């Protein structure tokens, strides 16, 4: 019997669910068993805010296990990855993206525009706080951490009036029906690479690189390349108040980007377009426009 492909995953329900979909897809294209291996990351051990723990807190242990030969494949939420590549590793597949939007789940069933003044809205992301505050709806953003279950329990416990989550997470957990409202990207831009997965393996593992390449979605990869190039050129981490969302149609990439202060008092939005082959350049050009408009000072204040 062929040696199993050891697919590394974090242990949360969401991580296991999304890794399971990759494992099923990989089984269909490779003549080897695929087994999930749980890897505990520093981010799983701490309840501190992600921005305090640092970029890559959910990624480093998986990458260390890959480099050490303890696992053969790692599945990451792409938005958690540092923008710099990891030596000796390659992102062999970016599967088709789930819904990239944020969703509101409110205890009352009211949409965002109808929440009363002072409503307590839970989110752990400075990006979401900044854009919600910029709407001028007099909401109270409450920093929270934890998995989807933990965040939704705060609603039923009466600690919060609403929470903002990634639509992709609820979809992968089979709980999207609990969403009150999908938030329009024109109001709240998603995080760069939100809803996308990065499937990583060792560069030297030719068999897996080839097998995983069949799971790759060119449009998703191009969109994510544009969004992450924007993030990298802004020199902003995944916890910075930066939104970026690219769509692909008719061979073109259309990218929107936003930088804001966490209190929402100042925000800068720009957009740009280019070809799929030019995706990273689209991101860099848009970052330059944002910086020329003063985004560097907003990012510095956020730091």
Distance CA 13, CA 150 (A): 12
Classify strands 73-77 and 5-9 as parallel, antiparallel or unpaired. Answer: parallel
Q: Which of 162, 157, 82, 88 is nearest to 120 (CA)?
A: 162
CB atoms < 10 A from the CB of 47, how many?
Answer: 9
* Catalytic option among 80, 102, 161, 205: 80
Going through 78-196 in order, the beta strands assigned E by DSSP cover 89-93, 102-106, 120-122, 140-142, 162-166, 181-182
The two three-digit tokens of residue 201, written as one number = 């393996």
- Which residues, 6 or more positions from 295, have their beta carbon under 8 angstroms from its beta carbon? 234, 259, 268, 287
- What tokens appear for 102 in the block? 């944020």
Q: Residue 195 and residue 206: Cα distance in Å, rounded?
A: 27
Q: Is the CB of residue 223 less than 8 Å from the CB of residue 99?
A: no
Residue 24 designated active-site: no
**Rg, C-alpha atoms of the chain:** 19
Residues 6+ apart with CB under 8 A from 55: 82, 237, 238, 239
The DSSP H or E segment spanning 136 is none
Catalytic residue ranges: 80
């Amino acid at each position: 019997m062929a040696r199993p492909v050891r697919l590394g995953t974090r242990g949360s329900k969401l991580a296991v669910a999304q890794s399971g979909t990759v494992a099923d897809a990989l089984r269909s294209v490779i003549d080897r068993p695929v087994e999930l291996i749980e890897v505990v990351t520093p981010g799983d051990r701490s309840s501190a805010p992600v921005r305090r723990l640092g970029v890559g807190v959910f990624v480093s242990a998986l990458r260390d296990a890959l480099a050490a030969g303890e696992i053969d494949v790692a599945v990451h939420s792409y938005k958690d990855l540092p923008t710099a590549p990891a030596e000796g590793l390659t992102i062999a597949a970016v599967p088709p993206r789930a819904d990239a939007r944020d969703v509101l789940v409110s205890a009352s069933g009211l949409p965002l525009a109808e929440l009363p003044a002072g409503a307590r809205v839970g989110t752990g992301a400075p990006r979401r706080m900044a854009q919600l505050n910029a709407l001028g709806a007099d909401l109270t953003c409450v920093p929270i951490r934890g998995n989807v279950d933990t965040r939704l329990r705060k609603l039923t416990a009466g600690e919060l009036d609403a929470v903002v989550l990634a639509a992709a997470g609820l979809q992968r957990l089979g709980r999207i029906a609990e969403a009150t409202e999908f938030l329009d990207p024109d109001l709240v831009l998603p995080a760069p690479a939100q809803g996308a997965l990065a499937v990583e393996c060792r560069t030297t593992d030719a068999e897996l690189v080839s097998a995983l390449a069949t799971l790759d979605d060119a449009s998703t990869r191009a969109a994510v390349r544009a969004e992450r190039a924007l993030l990298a050129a802004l020199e902003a981490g995944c916890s910075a108040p930066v939104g970026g969302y690219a769509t692909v149609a008719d061979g073109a990439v259309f990218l929107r980007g936003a930088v804001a202060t966490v209190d929402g008092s100042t925000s800068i939005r720009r957009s740009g377009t280019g070809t799929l082959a030019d995706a990273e350049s689209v991101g860099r050009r848009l970052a330059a426009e944002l910086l020329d408009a003063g985004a560097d000072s907003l990012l510095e204040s956020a730091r």
